[in-house]
């Protein structure tokens, strides 16, 4: 008669309290093997699990946990030493890292007091933790001794199928001899893991946080190589004497990061890659055509000025020079359709052609049109156009919002402006600033929510006097009987 396999594990019980309140301790939980037949084999696997807990650093001046255990024997008699009394400090040279080996102060011997308490680090600077006298490595999900590993997506025991790899090459534009330029290479979205950037030139990689504040190599001052705490992860910055330079981080990042390069010469390309969760990958890169590959648009420098670099602590100053600066900022794409991946990408896009049946664009002028559209439109914005591309039968401008004169809905610092044609009507040029009046467009299926520029939208090249012309237009709208809605926050 074939016996029932008849054994299974019960659910795990709750975790026990942590053995420490700071500095790293251990908690345990157990489960029971439920045997339904006396002749069945026992359950396979561990009955008890340990995990690290309370990993936050203790307050400044707190005593080391192993040192605290040694100090508990201070001035206590040791029988084998004829009741001699000593003060004890940790000794790390013993054969077993999980034995409480303590050195007698002022003496040349140590004594073994038995096992250390659970949760004690095996060695100074080690991530191993002692449990029942055994040194267990911190494994997947903070579980001690776990054989499973996190995949590149950060999933314990995963198969690298919940995220996707994005990889590209950035080439600096043509440089003016004797100048230094900060160019933005890319925006690395929040949630990125296994970030790796490499360069082999006389240029310097730089990094900004989401607020565009420099963290590494900013303001024309070069930091020393080392490890930097950035966006909830550690970024390892390396630079060798032969100009090989890299930035690496395991992640996941908690905020967007802007990868920059301080360009001193034309380079052969900056290689960069990172992994994003599937939903965020398609949000940022999903609209790229498999035929066209994945690309980044390089935009030439917009203006230049002379600056004496500021010298900061722990930095290497860069020579005074004429600086040419541009800051194109990456922004998510909102087409989440699934497409075949193509990693052989470069960073230039072909210019789209204008169809022959476009005709002449309508130009909207005059004070009356300015007031009417200001009152009727949902958004009145001062924007700087960063890039332009054709998406299907529409044109999409990537714009930085400089000033918000009017908004009926929340506006981000960075927005896409959509034009429902590819006829350059209205026509906007990259790296120029405009005042635009636009509508909010939400389609019937509620899948689109965007800022729409119509062919007859009021567009003006921005000049400082535009700020004055916008003042008082709310009152003009009230005089003409327009009912203004309250602006949304954002």
Domain limits of the chain?
163-325, 367-479
Q: How confident is the model at residue 44 (pLDDT cuts 50, 70, 90)?
A: confident
Label residue 93 by pLDDT band (50, 70, 90). confident
Identical fold between 163-325 and 367-479: no
The rounded distance, in Å, linking the Cα atoms of 197 and 247 is: 5
Q: Is the pLDDT of residue 293 over 70?
A: no
Question: What average pLDDT does this structure show over 146-173?
Answer: 81
HSE, side-chain direction, 13 A CA sphere, residue 45 = 15
8 Å CB contact between 380 and 399: no
Q: What is the pLDDT of residue 71?
A: 93
Q: Which of 155-164, 436-445, 479-488 has the lowest mean pLDDT?
A: 479-488
Task: Tell me if the domain spanning 367-479 has CATH number 2.30.110.10.
Answer: no
Q: For 422-469, how does the pLDDT look when each residue is reduced to its tens digit (9 = 90+)? A: 888 888 998 899 999 999 988 766 667 889 998 889 999 999 889 889
Q: What CATH code is assigned to 163-325?
A: 2.60.120.830
Q: How confident is the model at residue 354 (pLDDT cuts 50, 70, 90)?
A: low
Confidence label for 5 from pLDDT (cuts 50, 70 and 90): low
- Predicted local distance difference test score (pLDDT) of residue 461: 92
pLDDT for 295 beyond 70: no
pLDDT of residue 51: 87
User: Which pairs count as long-range contacts for 9-17, CB under 8 Å and 24+ apart, including other chains?
Assistant: 9/33, 9/34, 9/43, 9/45, 10/34, 12/49, 15/51, 15/53
Whether the per-residue pLDDT at 334 is higher than 90: the answer is: no
Taking residues 328-340, what's their average pLDDT?
33
pLDDT for the residue numbered 177: 56
Write out the two tokens for 219.
């303001």
Q: Does the predicted model carry a pTM greater than 0.85?
A: no
Mean per-residue pLDDT, 210-221: 90
Lowest mean pLDDT among 114-118, 290-294, 314-318, 472-476: 290-294
> Over 80: is that where the pLDDT of 342 sits?
no
Dihedral of the alpha carbons of 337, 341, 345, 349, in degrees to the nearest 10: -20
Q: Which range, 33-42, 192-201, 338-347, has the best average confidence (pLDDT)?
A: 192-201
Confidence of residue 109 (pLDDT cuts 50, 70, 90): confident
Who's near 122: CB < 8 A, 6+ residues apart? 97, 98, 128, 129, 130, 135
Run of H or E including 376: helix 367-376
Q: What's residue 258's pLDDT?
A: 93
């Amino acid at each position: 008669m074939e016996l029932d396999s008849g054994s299974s594990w019960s659910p795990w019980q709750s975790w026990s309290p942590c053995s420490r309140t700071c500095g790293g301790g251990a908690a345990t939980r157990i489960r029971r093997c439920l045997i339904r037949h006396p002749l069945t084999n026992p359950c396979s696997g561990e009955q008890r699990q340990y995990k690290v807990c309370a990993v936050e650093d203790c307050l400044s001046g707190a005593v080391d946990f192993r040192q605290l255990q040694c100090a508990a024997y201070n001035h206590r008699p040791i029988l084998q030493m004829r009741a001699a009394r000593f003060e004890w400090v940790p000794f790390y040279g013993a054969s077993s890292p999980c034995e409480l080996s303590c050195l007698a102060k002022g003496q040349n011997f140590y004594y073994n007091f038995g096992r250390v308490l659970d949760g004690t680090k095996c060695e100074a600077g080690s991530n191993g933790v002692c449990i029942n006298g055994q040194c267990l490595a911190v494994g997947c999900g903070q579980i001690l001794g776990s054989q499973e590993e996190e995949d590149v997506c950060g999933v314990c025991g995963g198969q690298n199928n919940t995220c996707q790899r994005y990889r590209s090459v950035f080439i600096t534009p043509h440089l003016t001899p004797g100048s230094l330029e900060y160019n933005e290479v890319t925006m690395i979205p929040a949630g990125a893991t296994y970030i790796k950037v490499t360069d082999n030139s006389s240029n310097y990689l730089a990094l900004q946080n989401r607020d565009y504040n420099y963290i590494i190599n900013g303001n024309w001052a070069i930091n020393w190589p080392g490890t930097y705490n950035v966006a909830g992860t550690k970024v390892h910055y390396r630079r060798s004497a032969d100009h090989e330079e890299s930035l690496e981080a395991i992640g996941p990042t908690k905020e967007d990061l802007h990868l920059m390069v301080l360009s001193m010469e034309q380079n052969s390309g900056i290689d960069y890659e990172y992994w994003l969760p599937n939903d965020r990958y398609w949000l940022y890169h999903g609209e790229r055509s498999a035929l066209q590959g994945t690309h980044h648009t390089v935009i030439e420098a917009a203006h230049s000025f002379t600056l004496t670099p500021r010298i900061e602590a722990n930095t290497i100053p860069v020579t005074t020079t004429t600086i040419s600066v541009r800051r194109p900022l990456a922004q998510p794409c909102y087409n989440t359709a699934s497409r075949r991946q193509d990693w052989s990408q470069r960073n230039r896009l072909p210019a789209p052609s204008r169809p022959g049946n476009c005709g002449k664009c309508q130009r909207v002028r005059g004070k009356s049109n300015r007031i009417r559209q200001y009152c009727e439109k949902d958004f009145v914005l001062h924007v700087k156009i960063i890039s332009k591309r054709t998406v299907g039968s529409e044109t999409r401008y990537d714009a930085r919002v400089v000033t918000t004169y009017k908004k009926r809905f929340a506006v981000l610092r960075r927005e896409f402006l959509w034009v429902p044609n590819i006829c350059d009507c209205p026509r906007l040029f990259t790296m120029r600033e405009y005042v635009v009046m636009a509508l909010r467009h939400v389609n019937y299926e509620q899948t689109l929510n965007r800022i729409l520029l119509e062919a007859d939208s009021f567009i003006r090249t921005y000049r400082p006097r535009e700020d004055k012309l916008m003042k008082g237009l709310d009152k003009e709208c009230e005089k003409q009987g327009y009912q203004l809605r309250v602006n949304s926050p954002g």
